[in-house]
Structure 1
Amino acid sequence: MTRLGTFRAYYLGAVCCIGGFLFGYDSGIIGGVLTFDSFKNDFDYSKKNETNVTALAVALQQLGGFVACFAIWPFTHRYGRKWALVHCSVIFCIGALIQTINTHSRPAFYIGRVIAGIGLGGSSVIVPMYSSEMSPARLRGQIGSFYQLLFTLGIFTSYWVDYGVASDISKTKSSQWQIPIGLQILPAGLLGLGTLTLKESTRWLATKEKYDKAWESLKWIRADDSEETNLEMDEIRAGVEYEAHAKEGFRMTELVDRHNFKRVLTAAAVFTAQQATGATAFAYFGPQFFKLLVGDEGTTDLLLTAIFGAVKFLACLLFVLLMADRFGRRQTLTIGALSMAVCQITTAIVLKYNPVQKDEPVASSGIATVALIYLFVIAYNFSWGPLPWPYVAEIFPARVREPGIGTGVASQWLFNFVFSLTTPYMIRDMGGWGTFLLWGLFDFLVAAYAWFGLTETRGKTLEEIAVPVDQRRPGTGSSRVLIEEGEGLDPKGPQVVVR
């Protein structure tokens, strides 16, 4: 693979993963905005119903994302990854604009959240699909992790924007909350415009029998038309034809056949586990969580949340640069979940026996719990933060990749909705130590699932992963799809031989 090809692979990953930045920025910005007096005054709600407003403002976006996961795959199946991603950016811009206008209407703000969620949810399905289909096998884990890296960069940016406007803009001015909300439109626009500079997915074009365009797409992304690239094109075409002829006329019932249903369950379980770690709840409600650890002293909670975002981003950056494809997915996910469990449960114990005292300086126990939460987010971004996205995109064959990933990511949005809706009530009713203990117990369950329930995909091509074990040639452990001349599935195409 040429240097230019490597650059283009990274470029494609960076552009389409602006969707991750957008997801992260939107996730991080709302928690701080909901604490601003200017927002509370403009939308006219009191302390009494603050928990309800907080839960709805966050959770309704997840509901939009959940719906989009099922709505987007027929669109991307018919029109391709590129144009579906462009449309998602436009939809998000509309939702963000509605939120930014000071309507003084909570229902209008909620509608804007739902519309923005539709754009985010659709892009969260397309990005890992598009990235995995265009990335070379040796870079797929690293480039697939760009989504989480830019997600953490978005969160990092949002936290500091919140802290900045809270410190520098009067609490009575509407611009205090409009600036952070309105800034969402910038990355959404960059996502749409940047996607226009990319080529359509080679594998999608091959599924539509647009082989000339598929070849041009592969040549562009690899910046090469050598024999090696020709062989890759042959393998992609053979794999696509094998899957297409295995079952003529796709039906949704294919998702529940013996091999595909296991993949669907795995995808759903992986994303559910990602949400159950508690990290996403921290992304949305960082200021509220840090108040549990250090009390309510001015903007201390916002400052600690902003530092949390910086730690989160740096940890994910180190993972992408140094670890993405060096260790097995299963091993990394297991160790990460165990580390998070230790941090969360230790935090719960400290809070149980050293509760935060109001109107007193931050105690050493409070500093210790903050450090534990920073260690927690480091462990998350070395494991369950970045890896679920490439892992889920890897396990589906091209024939069912759109609905398969869509179903898996839908579970991410569903439990994102569940946890974002319930977290404010957990904080209110269970208190700090109970909330952290619950997340820690969830993390232990996640670790057990990773070790006993997942198979390894690192270093395999998508075609290798897609071929079921019982269809491999006896006596070999490889599932590589080979191309041989002769009478094949298509008189004009290659014959698929699996071994």
Structure 2
Amino acid sequence: MGRKPTLQIGGVLILLFWTITAFVNHVGLLCFAAVLGGYGVGATFVVLPLYLSEVSDSRVRGSNCSLFFLMFSAGILYGSFMHQYFKKTAACLLSLPIPIAFLFIINCSWTPESPYFLVAKEKFAEARRVLLDLGMKEEGKYVATDDLIEFDNVTVHFHRGHDPCRHMFRIKENRNALFTQAIIFMVQVSSSYVPILFTSMNIFIRVTGDMRPAPAENLYSAIQLFGSIFCFLVIDSYDRKPLLLTSCFIVIAGQICLGLCYYFDSEGIHHVHSWVFVFVTSFFIMGYSIGLGPIPWILMAETFGPHIRSLAASGLVLMVSIFLLSIPRVFLQIAKHLGVYMACWIFSAVVSLGASCIFFLFVETRHKTIHSMANDMEEEMLYCGEDPRRSQLRLIES
């Protein structure tokens, strides 16, 4: 179908979800709306990072893709404020999801299709025209982007008759990329961001007395937004690997410290002031939002060659969805039977193991063009067993 039609369909589903949610109170229709919203958000989480990566110059690709997580964090903060002070219909209208979804659909109608999707469909002339349109202008003339400079070489990596699924698992480099990206997403979910926030809400009630946990939600959402802004500002100035490992280190330290706080408090060894829990949780959220939150979505669009990127992204988002359903439940079960501190320590060990794998397996992608990353993997040369110049000649002749 292409990136544009998929994004438009996702926008329509999200628009239907918010429209039904705002004006309908029937349980069956609300469940139906939730299904539509799930499909819409799922499609958007797969396609939008890919599209942002494929239409961005390599020098600003990281910041453009990190906007995805930044705006997601901003939406959480704004939506939490609206739903605390207004009823359902008013909150849905004032938080502006309906007009934003409508504008998203309209915007997708005039934005260009991804040039790399066009190349995958062997529409080379149209792809080159899109790359020219995306180029920067200086003194009225187009200046070619890095990807356009290497455009003629990109066609080497696309061939008729190759099954993307078979291609993804047959080539060693593709398998390694899929394994590394799966580990990164596993570390992201194993940080236990969601269940730690759930348990921290109870701590915030102790801090604020009889107040609802709404102030905690606002505080933590604001910290996540601040961390997302920091990532947006530095992601193209520093390599992905140091930022990701720094984020992992802060998350591990936060989990260990939270575990110690819960251990001392629950075992009666030493009373831990409730504001210490709030501070450590805030430290944990900051560490998560500067790396483990946004960077896996950026890497999902950068790691794979254009020929298999859509399939790999779909599989990874499905895997993340399964992790998000299972890992928080495992965390809460461990917390119930062994204590919250033991759950924090167990998952800190999991994140530590994942961070070690990232240290040894991760291949840097910053400022590399999509072609150069595919060339590093040599995916088509290994697959075809032929001189790439002969492959290119065969494509031109056909």
Q: Same fold (TM over 0.5)?
A: yes
Aligned residue for 2:130? Answer: 217
CA drift of 1:364 comes to 6.3
Q: 2:392 and 2:318 mapped to 1: Cα distance?
A: 41
Aligned residue for 1:233? Answer: 148
- Decide whether aligned partners of structure 1 residues 146 and 486 sit closer, same or farther in structure 2, where only a CA change above 3 A counts: closer
- Decide whether aligned partners of structure 1 residues 195 and 352 sit closer, same or farther in structure 2, where only a CA change above 3 A counts: same
Aligned residue for 1:248? Answer: 161
CA drift of 1:101 comes to 4.5
1:180-220 CA deviation, whole Å, 9 max, x = no partner? 45644343223222222311112222333333432332222
- Decide whether aligned partners of structure 1 residues 120 and 300 sit closer, same or farther in structure 2, where only a CA change above 3 A counts: same
| 1:414 counterpart SS class | helix
Which residues of 2 match residues 335-346 of structure 1 at below 5 A? 335-346=246-257
Aligned residue for 2:384? Answer: none
Amino acid at match of 1:308: Y
Q: TM-score, length-normalised on structure 1?
A: 0.69
The 8 Å contact of residues 256 and 344 in structure 2, kept in 1 or not, is answered as yes
The 8 Å contact of residues 189 and 323 in structure 2, kept in 1 or not, is answered as yes
Aligned residue for 1:204? Answer: 117
1:491 matched to 2:396? The reply is yes
Q: 1:379 and 1:93 mapped to 2: Cα distance?
A: 33
2:260 to 349, 353, 357: 349
1:313 matched to 2:225? The reply is yes
1:156 matched to 2:65? The reply is no
1:202-251 CA deviation, whole Å, 9 max, x = no partner? 22223333334323322222244968528843623431x21223x63334
Aligned residue for 1:264? Answer: 178
> Aligned-residue CA RMSD in angstroms?
3.2
1:95 matched to 2:17? The reply is yes
The 8 Å contact of residues 343 and 376 in structure 1, kept in 2 or not, is answered as yes
Q: 1:472 and 1:161 mapped to 2: Cα distance?
A: 51
Amino acid at match of 2:373: I
Aligned residue for 1:401? Answer: 309
2:34 to 106, 113, 118: 113
Q: 2:323 and 2:42 mapped to 1: Cα distance?
A: 13
Aligned residue for 2:356? Answer: 448
Aligned residue for 2:104? Answer: 191
The 8 Å contact of residues 292 and 356 in structure 1, kept in 2 or not, is answered as no
CA drift of 1:472 comes to 11
229-238 or 462-471: bigger deviation:
229-238
- Decide whether aligned partners of structure 1 residues 159 and 442 sit closer, same or farther in structure 2, where only a CA change above 3 A counts: farther
CA drift of 1:339 comes to 1.2
Q: 1:288 and 1:209 mapped to 2: Cα distance?
A: 52
Q: Aligned residues: percent identity? A: 19
CA drift of 1:112 comes to 2.5
1:304 matched to 2:216? The reply is yes
Amino acid at match of 1:82: K
| 1:137 counterpart SS class | coil
1:133-169 CA deviation, whole Å, 9 max, x = no partner? 111111111111111111211121122223333xxxx
The 8 Å contact of residues 294 and 356 in structure 1, kept in 2 or not, is answered as no
The 8 Å contact of residues 132 and 148 in structure 2, kept in 1 or not, is answered as no
- Decide whether aligned partners of structure 1 residues 352 and 187 sit closer, same or farther in structure 2, where only a CA change above 3 A counts: farther
Amino acid at match of 1:222: G
1:115-139 CA deviation, whole Å, 9 max, x = no partner? 2111111111111111111111111
CA drift of 1:300 comes to 4.2
Amino acid at match of 1:91: L
Which residues of 2 match residues 39-118 of structure 1 at below 5 A? 79-105=1-27, 108-118=29-39
1:457 matched to 2:396? The reply is no
Instruction: Name stretches of at least 5 consecutive residues in structure 2 with no aligned partner.
Output: 382-387
CA drift of 1:466 comes to 0.8
The 8 Å contact of residues 204 and 216 in structure 2, kept in 1 or not, is answered as no
The 8 Å contact of residues 163 and 306 in structure 1, kept in 2 or not, is answered as no
Amino acid at match of 1:229: A
Amino acid at match of 1:193: I
Amino acid at match of 1:81: R
191-200 or 401-410: bigger deviation:
191-200
The 8 Å contact of residues 49 and 297 in structure 2, kept in 1 or not, is answered as yes
Kindly tell me the number of residue pairs found equivalent between the two proteins.
384
Q: 1:485 and 1:349 mapped to 2: Cα distance?
A: 62
1:278 to 176, 182, 192: 192
1:28-58 CA deviation, whole Å, 9 max, x = no partner? xxxxxxxxxxxxxxxxxxxxxxxxxxxxxxx
Q: 1:398 and 1:112 mapped to 2: Cα distance?
A: 33
CA drift of 1:325 comes to 1.8
Q: 1:209 and 1:304 mapped to 2: Cα distance?
A: 51
Q: 2:126 and 2:221 mapped to 1: Cα distance?
A: 42
The 8 Å contact of residues 159 and 306 in structure 1, kept in 2 or not, is answered as yes
The 8 Å contact of residues 53 and 65 in structure 2, kept in 1 or not, is answered as yes
CA drift of 1:84 comes to 1.0
Aligned residue for 1:52? Answer: none
Q: 1:339 and 1:302 mapped to 2: Cα distance?
A: 25
1:401-449 CA deviation, whole Å, 9 max, x = no partner? 1101211222222212223555665665555434433443333223222
